[in-house]
Amino acid sequence: MDNKDILKAVEAKAQQWLNGNYDAATKAEVKAMMDDANKDALIDAFYKDLEFGTGGLRGKMGAGSNRMNIYTVGAATQGLANYLNKAFADLDQISVVVGHDCRNNSRLFAETVANIFSANGIKAYLFDALRPTPEMSFAIRELGCQSGVIITASHNPKIYNGYKAYWNDGAQIIAPHDTNIIDEVGKISSIDAIRFEGNPALIEVLGDDMDRRYLAECKKLSLAPEVIARQHDLKIVYSPIHGTGVRLIPMALANLGFTNVTHIPEQDVVSGDFPTVVSPNPEEPAAMLMATTKGAEIDADIVMASDPDADRIGVAVKNDEGKFVILNGNQTALILTWYMLKKWKENGKLTGKEFMIKTIVTTEVIREMATRNGVQFFDVYTGFKWIAAKIRELEGKMKYICGGEESFGFLPGDYVRDKDAVASISMMAEIAAWAKDNNIKLYDLLKQIYAEYGFSKEKMIYIVREGKSGADEIEQLMRDYRSNPPATMGGSRVAVVKDYQSLEAKNLLTGAVEKIDMPAKSNVLQYFTEDGSKVSVRPSGTEPKIKFYFEVKVPMADASQFAAAGEAADRKIEQAAKDMRIA
């Protein structure tokens, strides 16, 4: 389809919105785009429908079929409601939990969702205000609900919003329900099929009581309360970056016994405009700058932050020069995993029936930790829904310890089935207290972990390609990597290529091909080198990006070699990026 045909189709779809049963403000926005001589905005808003995928919805807010608005949110909810009424037809009352973050329009979208569920005879438990995503997950299990929805775009820029659907185990939806729901959403061909008029009798507001129940479970995760008692005045700096952690995370820390938590008042302001940051992403130094500056000012022991829906954790510790540096997601997961394994072992909780999980793009050092400690280990696809699916599969058979991913997500307890910054920040504060109690700096602890289990360094590089042309370019890149894989990576020969789209692992040195045991196919490629390094490539499922995850191995005999190992790893990553033709 050439540009003229695309514009013709887009204008026809936009005209349907002008003629349809849409509100006046929406029609005015559509008309303004149609009247504009530059049609880029119109094309981007209408060239496709915002797809309800396996992760729900995520997109820019505004009028149009490819935008987050009450109509695209409404269609998703109507489709989900239709599926729930079929899947749980034997229940007297189907129920769901609805939550939202701090973003602009999040409350409007959440109320719209609750109204549509109730209009379809489904009871909706709607939180009275913004809440962390993990609390919504917890509430589904706590209330015995069949599903849940959280309105959030996680750490995306302020122009975005999103919609994530959950199943009765409190986890994001996977097969077969994901595709079945997508089919139901696809059947909503007109907004006239969406029941917007809610039934107040079927909407119940959730408030402080659910907070208390959730925080009580979080407190049970503590593995060394006596250490916290001794180090209760640990200097902690915490920022919610304008988001949902603003109340519950300080409460969680206080529940554990911490008495010296310093806030960033400007970032305690709840705002979907995120006025103090360009992007509310705790993995970016700019988003953590106010917190690390305050940490330096008061000589804090640890600095932490959460993203807008409080499922991702950011951690900064003092390096050898006393300057705060942000741990990457792999390093945060390493420290959390190391501590939990250590304490489970010391507390006699390791019986041989425990397991840990990571995603395939997360550091292989975690695998080594599990293996050496006799703990069963599982690799799953990127996305916490796969970690949750493995927890559900093994529930009642084995005991979950923890699971994590490189993208700053970690889950230290199975009462929640999504990544949980509330629990993870609580656990990290305990680790900081333990380290101080043992006269160990957190930065030195990280070095010791590397010296014990092997050093690796990771870097994620992404390429952004917006719109239809960008999506086409990303698809072509994946085809090129499949047809023309690199022969070497960072100075080491590529030994194994794993293609999760064909579910085959090919040994390039022997020619042997093995099947990959995964629950579904996925558009991911991985290259493993002879020296143990790894590069993973995947298009993002939620953003217009293609992502490259580099993990390189470098010898490190002891902690004193940490800096040199890091420099050598940087050189290997630089070369590996060139080998991948992106640098």
Q: SS in 3 state form for 403-447?
A: EEECCCEEECCCCCCCCCHHHHHHHHHHHHHHHHHCCCCHHHHHH
Scanning the structure block, which residue is given the tokens 């529940």? Answer: 255
- Read off the DSSP letter of residue 361: T
Sign of the torsion formed by the C-alpha atoms of 325, 419, 206 and 195: positive
**Angstrom distance (rounded) from CA 309 to CA 153:** 8
Q: Which amino acid is at 85?
A: N
Asked if 522 contacts 502 with a C-beta cutoff of 8 angstroms, the reply is no
Alpha helices by DSSP H, 506-561: none
Q: Which two tokens stand for residue 483?
A: 């047809």
Phi, psi of 331 (to 5 degrees): -65, -40
Asked if 94 contacts 121 with a C-beta cutoff of 8 angstroms, the reply is yes
Among the listed residues 216, 214, 188, 203, the one whose alpha carbon sits nearest the alpha carbon of residue 75: 188
Q: Taking a C-beta distance cutoff of 8 angstroms, is the pair 243, 258 a contact?
A: no
The CA distances from residue 316 to 288, 294, 300, 457, 480, in Å, are: 8, 12, 10, 17, 38
* Strand 525-529 versus strand 534-539 pairing type: antiparallel
Q: Comparing C-alpha atoms, which of 377, 428, 366 is closest to residue 400?
A: 377
**Residue 41 to residues 33, 34, 64, 247, 455: CA-CA distances in angstroms?**
6, 9, 10, 38, 47
In whole angstroms, what is the distance from residue 398 CA to residue 370 CA? 15
CB-based contacts of 4, cutoff 8 Å, min separation 6: none
DSSP three-state, residue 368: helix
CB 406 within 8 A of CB 361: yes
Q: Among the options 137, 154, 522, 533, which is catalytic?
A: 154
Sign of the torsion formed by the C-alpha atoms of 326, 330, 331 and 336: positive
3-state secondary structure of 239: strand
Tell me whether residue 154 is one of the annotated catalytic residues: yes
Rounded to whole angstroms, how far apart are CA atoms 175 and 521?
A: 12
Angle CA(483)–CA(485)–CA(486) in degrees, nearest 5? 155
Q: Which residues participate in catalysis according to the annotation? A: 154
